Amino acid sequence: MNTINPSISTGVNMRDKQAAEIPVPQDKPEDTIIEEGKTVGKPFASDPKFQLRNVSVSYGSDRAIKDISLDIGRNEVISFIGPSGCGKSTFLRCLNRMNDSIDICRVKGQLMLDGEDIYSPKRDVVELRARVGMVFQKPNPFPKSIYDNVAYGPKIHGLANRKSELDEIVENSLRKAGLWEEAKDRLDSVATGMSGGQQQRLCIARAIAVSPEVILMDEPCSALDPIATARVEELIADMSKSYTIVIVTHSMQQAARVSNRTAYFHLGHLVEVNETNKVFTSPEHQLTESYITGRFG
């Protein structure tokens, strides 16, 4: 799914990242049906949390994202769907600058969170990530106890003054992630011993613990069995009341179940954005229709 090989992405120098904007060669659109920068449907929202304008991302000379403009509304759940390699994960990782750790990755365009530029040199990436949390494709609990996993974020940010406050944060987060009942008796056991579904919910609890405003989810259920998937989806529905959620998914059913709006990506282009039921019942763009009817993907 990810076009990036994570193993090469060691060696990070945040300051270097923002420095040079390499001009991107304007290659011809691969698919004549798509017009670059044109998105059908309703890409803009009235009360936007994110305002993203003319975003392009390139890895070296490869353009992974081509001139995308999109709003993400406050407390909205939006799904990114599309075939493999269409750039949806890359785009998601721009929203909390996780792409910073890839040397050759360059982001162009305007990305605003609550009216402030995400990629501005003055923007602090640590603070940004505290506000924009992320859940990954593969559950990645730290090899520590369940308690320590959830407490990790609050601890590094200094969110708790006392142990009792920390306990409270941990308990609340685990409750919100629907994991409290299963985990309360073994908070001290190592997190990697849990089942895949539990691990993923733990990762969600870990993200919630720092009280982010936005949670980015990169195919959170792709490594889980159907029952665990159902529980995570329930959880997403619960969380939508208090968080803005952006979810990349491979499963159209999942997009249909959890999201308000759905965005369809194709080869680095944002083809169509609309209310979820609109996208799945009467897509406006020919490519979207082909995709949801399973002609490719």
Tally Cβ neighbours within 10 Å of residue 16: 10
Question: What CA–CA distance (Å, rounded) separates 127 from 270?
Answer: 28
Binding span for another protein by CB under 8 A among 25-33, 59-67, 201-209, 232-240: 201-209
Q: Which residue, 95 or 287, has its beta carbon nearer to another protein?
A: 95
Binding another protein by CB under 8 A: which of 130, 166, 177, 270? 130
Q: Which of 5, 31, 6, 232 is nearest to 135 (CA)?
A: 232
11 is a contact residue toward another protein (CB under 8 A): yes
Binding span for another protein by CB under 8 A among 31-39, 41-49, 211-219, 261-269: 211-219
Distance of CA 130 to the CA centre of its chain: 14
Q: Which residues pair with 275 in a beta bridge?
A: 261
188 is a contact residue toward another protein (CB under 8 A): no
Binding another protein by CB under 8 A: which of 140, 145, 222, 260? 140
Residues 58-117 that bind another protein (CB under 8 A): 96, 98, 101, 103
∠ at Cα 231 (227, 237), nearest 5°?
140
* Residues, the chain: 297
The 3-class SS string of 195-255 reads CHHHHHHHHHHHHHCCCCCEEEEECCCCCCCHHHHHHHHHHHHHHCCCCEEEEECCCHHHH
182 is a contact residue toward another protein (CB under 8 A): no
Binding another protein by CB under 8 A: which of 1, 3, 9, 59? 9
Residues in touch with another protein (CB under 8 A): 6-7, 9-13, 16, 96, 98, 101, 103, 124, 126-131, 133-134, 136, 138, 140-144, 152-153, 156-159, 203, 206-207, 210-213, 216, 242
